[in-house]
Amino acid sequence: MKKVNQLFMLVALLAGLSSAAIAQTTASTSGHASARVITAIGIQNVSPINWGSLIPGSGGDATQDVSGIGPVTGPTPQPPVTTGGVIAIAQGSMDAIHTSPRGPATFYAYGEPNFTVAITLPAMMDLHRIGNPGDILHVDNFHHNNVGTATLVKLVPSDAVGVLFFVVGATVTVPAGSPRGWYDGDFQVSVAYN
Amino acid sequence: MKKSFMLVAAAFLAFAGTAAAQNSASTTGHASARVILPITIGEDQTLAFGGFFAGATSGTVDIATNGVSGATGTRTSTGGVTLYTGSQAGAWHQNEFSIEGEIGFTYTTVITNNTFNLTGPGSPMSCTMTAPVANGGGSVTVVGGESPDNDDVFRGGSLSVAAFQASGSYAGTFTYAVAYN
């Protein structure tokens, strides 16, 4: 019986040595690969800037301001209320009819959740009178209400994309004697991932 | 007569000497052994394709190695894929393994699944590893069709991206093995 035990121990020892020898001449491990497909960014215009009805008088500037609108981002961002708003009149005797519809332009950007974006506004543009495009009102001072980090946020946790609502204001200059009528024009707003 | 006697005596002495050598003899034998280092492998840097946009047509994201430890390599795309290079792109870099073993020994590297899938929220994306590139600065030599190499082995990869590939994070694994020749 004793010899049987010794034989068993010897076999076990040899097997152990053999296994160790094999393990030392080869080695393997797992490599890892990763990728991230990012949702393309997009932007949608909801409403235009509307300065409402302006009476030129001796001329002046009307600014559709966005101060006080927002915040429109956060854990549960909501579209901003853009009716009304502040019309600031500067210079001259121009007046605004505050009962007429007015408000800043409204946009929302959408894309990869929690990504931050940069908003780019034009420096200036012109409004052309409908029916007589030669009559022009100059617009500048474009600004938006996202003064901090603009982040795309999911409206609900299950959403695949994040959104960012923001509003854009600007200043229109109405010279004295500007012909009455409707003026309009387009301006470009861009968003890009930082 | 005198000459004949001397020849007989010399033959006798020679015979006597031979008989004495057959009774005992000795020489020096030699034994040797060499203890070698076990070969080991470890992943120093994963293969990361970083962030990109899938397009309306299929394409690829490709990571090429440059053989420099800790470096990113080069990232390019083909087809409808657009690389995102902004600050939120996430890390992208070549794959790097560190192999250590006995100085001067040769080894062979093998990826058992050279093509594998990265899985995530959308359909799996196929990834094919590129041939290894070495930095040549270590202590082990590669043979057997692999690159001349020492301690660090670098690999890139090509990731196939379908048209309108669903956005999200994808991941996969492969097995990297080395063996002394």
Report residue A85's pLDDT band, with 50, 70 and 90 as the boundaries.
Answer: very low
A120 beta partners: A190
Task: Please indicate whether, in this complex, the C-beta atoms of B47 and A26 are within 8 angstroms of each other.
Answer: no
List of chain B residues whose C-beta atoms are within 8 Å of the C-beta of residue A35: 48-50, 52, 61, 118, 120, 125, 159, 169-171
Of B39, B125, B166, which is closest to A24 when you measure between CB atoms?
A: B39
CA–CA gap between residue B128 and residue B121 (Å, rounded): 20
Does A24 score more than 60 pLDDT? yes
Q: What is the mean pLDDT of residues A96-118?
A: 84
pLDDT score at A87: 57
Of B111, B170, B173, which is closest to A35 when you measure between CB atoms?
A: B170
pLDDT score at A159: 85
Comparing alpha-carbon positions, the chain B residue that sits nearest to A23 is B38
Q: Give the three-state DSSP class for B129.
A: strand
Q: Is residue B164 within 8 Å of B56, Cβ to Cβ?
A: yes
List of chain B residues whose C-beta atoms are within 8 Å of the C-beta of residue A192: 86
A162 beta partners: A111
pLDDT score at A64: 77
Does A56 score more than 90 pLDDT? no
pLDDT score at A148: 72
Task: Please indicate whether, in this complex, the C-beta atoms of B175 and A28 are within 8 angstroms of each other.
Answer: yes
pLDDT tens string A29-48: 899 999 999 999 999 998 88
Q: What is the ipTM of this complex?
A: 0.75
Three-class HEC string of chain A = CHHHHHHHHHHHHHHHHHHHHHHHHEEEEEEEEEEEECCCCEEEEEECCECCEEECCCEEEEEEECCCCCCCCCCCCCCCCCCCCEEEEECCCCEEECCCCCECEEEEEEECCCCEEEEECCCEEEEEECCEEEEEEEEEEEEECCCCCEECECCCCCCCCEEEEEEEEEEEEEECCCCCCCEECCCCCEEEEC
Q: What angle do CA B118, B124, B127 make, to 5 degrees?
A: 45
Cis status, amide bond into A56, omega within 30 of 0: no
pLDDT score at A73: 46
What residues 93-112 of chain B have any CB closer than 8 A to a CB of chain A? 95, 97, 111
Please report, to the nearest 10 degrees, the dihedral formed by the alpha carbons of residues A7, A9, A11, A12 taken in order.
160
Find which of B88, B114, B117 to mutate to test the A interface (most A CBs within 10 Å of its CB).
B88
pLDDT score at B53: 96
pLDDT below 70 — which residues of chain B?
1-21, 134-151
State the pTM of this model.
Answer: 0.71
pLDDT score at B20: 52
pLDDT score at B21: 56
Does A16 score more than 70 pLDDT? no
Q: How many CB atoms lie within 10 A of CB B161?
A: 29
CA–CA gap between residue B116 and residue B125 (Å, rounded): 8
A129 beta partners: A132, A183
Q: Give the three-state DSSP class for B102.
A: coil
Short-list B87, B83, B164, B54, CA closest to A117:
B87
Q: Give the three-state DSSP class for B3.
A: helix
List of chain A residues whose C-beta atoms are within 8 Å of the C-beta of residue B49: 33-36
Longest dimension (CA), chain A: 122
pLDDT score at A93: 61
Show the tokens assigned to A131: 């029916």
Task: Please indicate whether, in this complex, the C-beta atoms of B41 and A25 are within 8 angstroms of each other.
Answer: no
Tokens 């050279």 belong to which residue? B114
pLDDT tens string A139-187: 999 988 877 778 898 888 888 899 998 888 888 888 888 899 999 999 9
Q: Give the three-state DSSP class for B16.
A: helix
How far is the alpha carbon of A111 from chain B, nearest alpha carbon, in Å? 10
What is the percentage of chain A residues whose pLDDT exceeds 70?
70
Q: Is B179 on the interface with A (CB under 8 A)?
A: yes
What is the percentage of chain A residues whose pLDDT exceeds 90?
35
Q: Up-side HSE of residue B104: CA atoms within 13 Å toward CB?
A: 1
CA–CA gap between residue B75 and residue B16 (Å, rounded): 88
